[in-house]
Amino acid sequence: MRAWYCASAAAGLSLFAGVAGAQDLKFAPGEDARFNWASYDEFAASHDLSGQTLSIFGPWLGPDKELIESVLAYFEAATGADVRYAGSDSFEQQIVIDAQAGSASNIAVFPQPGLLKDLAAKGLVTPLDSATADWVRENYAAGDSWVDLGSTNGELYGFFYKADLKSLVWYVPENFEDAGYEVPETMEDLLALSQQIVDDGGTPWCIGLGSGDATGWPATDWVEDLLLRLQSPEVYDGWVTNEIPFDDPRVVEAIDAFGTFARNDDWVAGGAAAVATTDFRDSPQGLFQSPPACYLHKQASFIPSFFPAGTEVGLDADFFYFPAWEEKDLGKPVLGAGTVFGITNDSPAAHAFIDFLKTPIAHEVWMAQSGFLTPFKGVNLDAYATDSQRQMGEILLGATTFRFDASDLMPGRVGAGAFWTGMVDYVGGEDAEAVAKNIQGVWNALN
Amino acid sequence: MGQILSALGVVILGVAACAGYFWGSNVILDRIYPPRGPNAGANIMRANTIRPWLFVGPALFALTIYLIYPVFASVWLSLHDRSGETFVGTSNYTWMLNDPEFRQSFRNNMLWLLIVPAGATFFGLLAAAVTDRIWWGNIAKSLIFLPMAISFIGASVIWKFIYDYRGEGQPEIGLLNAIVVGLGGEPHAWITMPFWNNVFLMVILIWIQTGFAMVILSAALRGIPEETIEAAVLDGASPLQIFFKIKVPQIWGTIAVVWTTITILVLKVFDIVLAMTNGQWNTQVLANLMFNWMFRGGGDFGRGAAIAVIIMVLVIPIMIWNIRNASKEQ
Amino acid sequence: MEGIAGRNPLVTWLVHISAALLVIIWTVPTMGLFISSLRDKDQIAVSGWWTALSGSEQNLVERTAAPDEAVERDGTWVLEGNLFGENEGTVSAFGWRAQEPAAFQPGETAELRGGETLTVEKDGTYILSSVEQPEGKRGQRIFFTSLQPPKFTLDNYRNVLFSQGIGRSFINSLTVTIPSTVIPILIAAFAAYALAWMPFPGRALLLATVVGLLVVPLQMSLIPLLQMYNSVGGFLGVPAKTYAGIWLAHTGFGLPLAIYLLRNYMAGLPREIIESARVDGASDFEIFVKIILPLSFPALASFAIFQFLWVWNDLLIAMVFLGNNEEQLVLTGRLRELLGSRGGNWEILTASAFVTIIIPLLVFITLQRYLVRGLLAGSVKGG
């Protein structure tokens, strides 16, 4: 009875399954010269996937979801495939459940390469061919490191698409003008500026660590950026692989450097107690309040998505590079991250989609909108929607010391667990050394 | 709409299929062993030994697949490594005993087990006692019962408006902080206050479960024979004395039932913690920890399953108590 | 009982007051959500919902018209307009520097950094005049304080129902809930009858198993079950995450309670009815359908409400056994997603939270009587 019942139910449902929404293309093919339409036509000519479906599962919701769907529409138009994107706030849990059970989507969009590697090590991700690895090595700025980041046991499993730049501080130029502040060039200046804002009766920083299940992650970016500015990149690399333990004094120093910003009631809007409970998406709102709740907000390049509607980056808000200490002489290190696409359920369409990501058009469509950077050297930088995005893109392409977000590279239980909660505890008043010891303890207990 | 229609269609189909199964299997059984003819007696006997199994069959099948098999699968997984492939003996359990987060969750869970059933039963008893004595008691009961209908995730949104914290100097939009400030106190970020934040989360569950306790205890209170109470009144006992010395002992059995029912719920609850704090600020509980180990950061089924087994073990005494109670009634 | 309380007015008052207090404490949180969901989105975030009726003072920022709209009048360049646009409002103070948003009273004239002068009137009209032709892409920022009248609106609901996908999820939730409520009742009713009235070997053991299974934490079933679903789905050539799958999952998880409740109730029915029907030659099937089922209606209804609430409010099982695409995302899942992506948009959160709880509330209020009756059958027996 049961089997029959299941089958009939499934049949009933499949009647309603074919209602995929064909989205209009954001930029009409062939019209705008900024786009590499040749690459689009060429891809369309060589791929026909009509009748096939491709499911994609990722962490993008809200505005980001609309953006990725605007890119997917080109893949659909070019190949005739039916693409379904689903986003979830609990992506990290869901993908593990699905992959383990064998019901994952064709493509998964990992916000952390660490998670992809975990799944790849369990044999749940289909490796990409060696041609793809060569392609990334050749066409991405700092290509070797992107290949390494996406590989496990010498095989490439993940394709990086959409990068973020972390080392940015956001501010409202008019507020600076009104108060007579200058954009700081060095960390010394930045600290002095913060103190000056306090002396003028304002609050320098908005910091929010809240992020639902992932509460705490914004603090990891702070610590990583500060470590890169306090120590050489080699120390950073050692820390990522745990050759340098988490409770090493050099790491503890970086945590405490974050504390000078976040644990200082005068320096952070709402006081230190509000840091952990404020949602990171709400946090930048303080820049735009009247009177300003804060003047500075350190966050990655994607954050303008969460600025108030109508805010134009470059005019209403702008960014500057999170500066390094002049006296340390460590150059201008750049911290970044990226989302990586992996094939979690093999199908011809999935491979075709990875090929699609190698076309300039797949990058340019999102570049021309917002919140997207790419290390792909083959794109037309003019496609960036704004000058400021182009500036970020150039920072990324020209980085000398580029380091990937450490928390994304550490084992999931550390980088997406103990590190987060540890930072929440630290902001709550716990001792930096104790927090670091705790995190190292979790790392030691991994098997 | 089409989807709803297809769902309704499936319901009708399913009902028809189920009815068809029960009816059809009965008919077939009666064909094979007709209750008349030369062997009528023996046939009825045989049919009657088979028939109960036809009745419980589908239920037994579903229970086995959805509840019994997973219990054994979990025990098996808990003895294996993160991917569930290599046998590792009891190492997951030894890891657990040494893990500070597990110990913290265990401690918190014990707190939940102490406070939530006690709180819900206490308030339920109080509500039952007062609402039984007033003319608008039924309305009052309905209103107190209402939170039972609200999902944990909905309740979390509701309580965010109670515990919200806005930082000093800004107008508070959280009710609790507004009251505290109104009384001249300092606002606090309630859900980050160690230890007490656990209590604040428990309050949500107490809020949800009090209605359940109230309804059942109220019925039990009404079931107490009038004569006992009248005798006490004649002896000059005060209402409070009557309540605590006569009524409460009379409904002791029901209180125990309510208590255990809520205890079981507490052990399984994780939605509130997940939505409010996700175990940060020392609010972790076992069910959420298990979920974390199973599905986060790459997942470790061995450890997740080991924690699940611990939850099972904690439930076993209640299970036995339940079973003994149930068989006593027979 | 009334008689006892009636004798002592003080006790009567105490009882009334404590009952009123309990009711207030238990309803205020939900009321807060409801009121907030009807408020204007700008007000929710700046003032508590309990101030909803009193209006709120807000610090706002607007820009003047763009510089290229300036007109030359008597040698000065003038930009005119109204801060409130089409709406109405009252300005109580204004300023041009972010640091001093309330430096000037309405009607006063402020001198800006570049020598321009700015005047803002009470009704929001402003005049910005300068000697030189203004340049730039953006108008001058004007900070002003304005008393906003209390505003109630259905916009939040309109927004949530028609553009946040809640409407779609509502239908998905119904699709999940209806069969998940009906199927376990059918299966459980037969099993409960057998356990209550049909003697067979192993009956006591079976009953004990059902009672024991009441307490199994269902989180532990997720992985093994999902793995099984995939192999079954693969075998039948259907996707693993289907509505049929989640119906059966809810059936399995709901069965122990269903069997337990129904058996307790059925066992309490008078033996004579069943015996006499047996004597009359009725088969067990007939007895069940014609006698037991109608008599057990309160227990059936009670379990139905329970299961309905449980399925409707469930997040975990839906997260695991149903996909999270447009066609399958249920209300609780949607709400959780909104909590994540719209963490700061209280107007969306409150309205969608209220939409998710409205159906269970209605079901609950209308059918409460049955729920209570069935609950009592399940737990007060012998108490």
Count CB neighbours of B231 within 10 A.
12
Neighbours of C202 (CB within 10 A): 11
Interface check C178 vs B, CB under 8 A: yes
Distance CA C4, CA C12 (A): 9
- Compute the distance between CA of residue A415 and CA of residue A409 in angstroms, rounded to an integer: 7
Verify that C318 and C181 share a domain, yes or no: yes
What are the pLDDT tens digits along chain C (383 aa)? 444 444 678 878 888 998 999 999 999 999 988 888 888 877 777 778 888 777 777 788 888 888 888 888 888 888 888 888 777 778 888 888 888 888 888 888 888 887 888 888 888 888 888 888 887 778 888 888 887 777 788 888 888 777 767 788 888 888 888 888 888 888 888 888 888 888 888 888 888 888 888 877 777 787 788 778 877 776 776 676 788 888 889 999 889 888 888 888 888 788 888 888 888 877 777 888 888 888 888 888 888 888 888 888 888 888 778 876 667 788 888 877 776 666 567 778 888 888 888 888 888 888 777 777 766 665 544 32
Q: Does pTM surpass 0.95? A: no
* Distance (Å, whole) CA C372 – CA B216: 8
Cα–Cα distance, B282 to A116 (Å, whole number): 29
Measured CA to CA, the distance from residue B161 to residue B164 in angstroms comes to 6
Within this chain, do residues C94 and C201 fall inside the same structural domain, yes or no?
no
Q: Which of A89, A105, A174, A296 should one mutate to test binding to chain C, selecting the residue with the greatest count of C CBs within 10 A?
A: A89
Q: Which of residues 44-83 of C touch B (CB under 8 A)?
A: 44-50
Give the closest residue to B301 by CA, choosing from C219, A41, A387. C219
Q: Is residue C291 part of a domain?
A: yes
- On the question of pLDDT at A369 being above 90, the answer is no
Q: What is the pLDDT of residue C234?
A: 67
Q: Mind listing the pLDDT tens digit for each residue in A387-442? A: 888 888 888 887 667 788 998 888 878 888 889 989 998 998 889 999 999 999 98
Are C202 and C114 in a shared domain? no
Residues C86, C162, single domain; the answer is: no
Is residue C168 included in any domain, yes or no?
Answer: yes
Instruction: Say if residue A222's pLDDT is above 90.
Output: yes
Same-domain pairing of C239 and C297: yes
Torsion of CA C18, C23, C25, C30, to 10 degrees: 180
CB spacing of C191 vs B58 below 8 angstroms? yes
Of A7, A178, A288, which has the smallest distance from its Cβ to C99's Cβ? A178
Instruction: Decide if C10 touches B, using CB distance below 8 A.
Output: no
Q: Which pLDDT score is estimated for C340?
A: 64
The label of the residue with tokens 């980041």 reads A149
CB C147 within 8 A of CB C213: no
Same domain, C339 and C238: yes
Same domain, C278 and C235: yes
What are the structural domains, with CATH classification, of chain A?
30-165+336-404 (3.40.190.10), 168-332+410-445 (3.40.190.10)
CA–chain centroid gap for A27, Å, is 25
Look at chain C and count its residues: 383
- Distance between CA C189 and CA A173 in Å, rounded? 70
Contact C221 B145 (CB under 8 A): no
Among A218-227, B2-11, B172-181, which is the least confidently predicted range? B2-11
Residue A359 in tokens:
């076309």
User: Could you say which residues from 199 to 258 on chain B have a Cβ atom under 8 Å away from some Cβ of chain A?
Assistant: none
- Domain for residue C95, yes or no? yes
Residue for token pair 């590792």: B88
Chain A positions touching C101 (Cβ under 8 A) are 290-291
Which residues pair with residue A82 across a beta bridge?
A53
Annotated domain spans of chain B: 15-78, 99-329
Say if residue C252 is in the same domain as residue C336.
yes
Structure confidence by residue, pLDDT tens digits, B279-305: 778 888 888 888 888 776 656 788 888
Question: What digits encode the pLDDT tens for the residues A158-192?
Answer: 999 998 888 899 999 999 998 999 999 899 999 99
Indicate if C66 and C180 belong to the same structural domain.
no
Q: Please identify among residues 367-396 of chain A the ones whose CB lies closer than 8 Å to any CB of chain B.
A: none
Domain termination site, one of C116, C148, C180: C148
Q: How far apart are CA A79 and CA A363, in angstroms?
A: 17
> CA A413, CA B298: separation in Å to the nearest integer?
8
- A58: phi > 0 → left, psi -120 to 50 → alpha, else beta; which? beta
Tell me the CB-side half-sphere exposure of residue B32, using CA atoms within 13 A. Answer: 11
Q: Which secondary-structure segment (H or E) carries C97?
A: none
Quick check: helix, strand or coil at residue B37?
Answer: coil
DSSP C285-302: HHHIIIIIHHHTHHHHHH
* Residue A226 amino acid letter: L
| Axis-axis angle for helices A360-367, A62-79 (nearest 10) | 150
Contact A7 C101 (CB under 8 A): no
What domain range includes position C48? 30-54
Tell whether C186 is covered by a domain: yes
Using DSSP bridges, classify how beta strands A168-171 and C125-130 pair: parallel, antiparallel or unpaired: unpaired
Tell me how close the Cα of A252 comes to any Cα of chain C, in angstroms: 31
Contact C240, C227 (CB under 8 A): no
Distance separating alpha carbons of residues A336 and A401, to the nearest angstrom: 11
Give backbone dihedrals phi and psi of C160, rounded to 5 degrees, phi first.
-65, -45
- Within a domain: C21: no
Domain B99-329: homologous superfamily in CATH: MetI-like (1.10.3720.10)
The predicted complex's ipTM stands at 0.81
Cβ atoms of C70 and C184 within 8 Å: the answer is no
At CA B240, angle to CA B236 and CA B243, rounded to 5?
Answer: 100
Distance CA B48, CA B28 (A): 13
Report yes or no: C83 and C126 within 8 Å, Cβ to Cβ: yes
Phi and psi based region of residue A381 (left: phi greater than 0; alpha: psi -120 to 50; beta: remaining): alpha
A103 touching chain B per CB within 8 A: no
Task: Please report the pLDDT score of residue B112 as a whole number.
Answer: 92
Give the three-class secondary structure for C159: helix
